[in-house]
Structure 1
């Protein structure tokens, strides 16, 4: 683990693993926004293929607090990390919110991006309606009522329950979904709700045609990977993919939002093909 100090004095907690090979290094971008790095299992799938970097985004996890929560600042953070690590070109691979961050970083700094991985992102169009339909189908009426009853100022036990109820519908495997959600909920870091509101509000305000125009200018390979069991509809990701000149779209059957949990072997194969392409 290493703390990297950025130009504005904010320190980001980072990890570097893997093996130096002919493949460019990979920078993993976690989701949220307002969460922490949870992509160590994905890094482990890449460690024998190339160098892998991970970090907690500013204001999140073990990184320093920061009120500067904009997509431009997060893109600049990645660029400063790239310079610190001494790489001319990198692969940016983002999960969930990190998938959109990977695309916008690539659009801002294309000369330093070899490939982009958009994993379990939301795409364009109305993805909210089908997402909430699937979420509500995977919950009982009692669970939904309980989730909606939580307010700020939760006890630690209530916070764990709130997170688990919020996240267990992301998993396609309904037998193991609750246990996985409890494992994720037990992470001892607070959710940065200020960052969540600021960043989600910013990206949700972008018209679809604005994002489509950004990705239309990407010339590097962009792989969009999605699980068929993710409540975020694959159709919205396919709609986004149509605007990307050099793209590959892959569906992983039976996988939910956390691809590495439900289909690890299939994800590992896709990652290897992604780096080899």
Structure 2
């Protein structure tokens, strides 16, 4: 799908054309769609859309990596698919994106699913980095930092990503398998998009109060991104409920798919 400034966005849709529409927004910023497992979990009555954000994965486009542009791209997809309202699901950075979409385009949002987000403000950063350091050995941290400083071969790039993402999982016996699988995706990380979108974001503390749609917050209790900061959204979002997944980290659908599927489909049945 081509948007107004020429960016071509890769998309993938599944489910019945007349089904209740849901769009899945991946994290990063600067990564690619990895939300196929979420799509597969949803009740088959839903028409589910996924996409790579501009300049990421299989998408191209002018290097305009402002939040306003990312929101405009998402709304262009809504118009392209012909919906007046839809449910928006976002994971990690994607959770920030869909929350901002919901306060920018409230008339087009049926419901919001905020999964693995960081919560409002920047108070999450220090405890997050402390927990990451706690979960990696000194040798792993040294190797990660060494790889970050230099030009990497593809094998080293996979190793670097794996070390960065290893702390995101609750189960240490399976963390390396999951992290390496994610790290092996054959796409370049768009670091320009990452830096541009990760800095200067508006503070959700006041803006999130404008969100009128019912909101489900899903958070793995073992996610290094602190649950305490995400909980603050419950005092800000008028229609928010929180579903914590006890034995899961940043990708709770991998570590407890039954719990995540149950929560998602119950929420969508009620609000989607």
**TM-score, L = length of structure 2:** 0.96
CA contact (8 A) 1:106 1:218 kept: yes
2:193, 2:211 → 1: CA distance? 27
CA contact (8 A) 2:6 2:61 kept: no
1:132, 1:114 → 2: CA distance? 35
Structure 1 runs, 4 residues or longer, greater than 2 Å off: 19-22
194, 197, 200: which one aligns with 1:196: 194
227, 230, 233: which one aligns with 1:234: 227
Deviation at 1:259, TM superposition (A): 1.2
**2:248 corresponds to 1:255:** yes
CA contact (8 A) 1:15 1:54 kept: yes
Structure 2 unpaired stretches of 5+: none
| Cα distance per residue 1:179-221 (max 9 Å; x no partner) | 1111001111000000000000122xx3xxx412111111110
2:42 is matched with: 46
CA contact (8 A) 1:127 1:232 kept: yes
| Cα distance per residue 1:240-275 (max 9 Å; x no partner) | 221111111111111110111101000000111110
1:19, 1:42 → 2: CA distance? 16
1:85, 1:20 → 2: CA distance? 10
CA contact (8 A) 2:5 2:62 kept: no
Seen in structure 2, the aligned counterparts of structure 1 residues 152 and 19 have a Cα distance that, compared at 3 Å, is: farther
2:131 is matched with: 134
2:189, 2:35 → 1: CA distance? 17
1:38-77 pair list within 5 angstroms: 38-46=34-42, 48-77=44-73
Aligned pairs, number = 268
Matched residue SS, 2:144: helix
1:1-277 pair list within 5 angstroms: 4-20=1-17, 24-46=20-42, 48-125=44-121, 126-150=123-147, 151-203=149-201, 206=202, 210-277=203-270
Matched residue SS, 1:175: helix
CA contact (8 A) 1:27 1:91 kept: yes
1:142, 1:56 → 2: CA distance? 34
2:87, 2:142 → 1: CA distance? 42
1:66, 1:162 → 2: CA distance? 28
Deviation at 1:20, TM superposition (A): 4.9
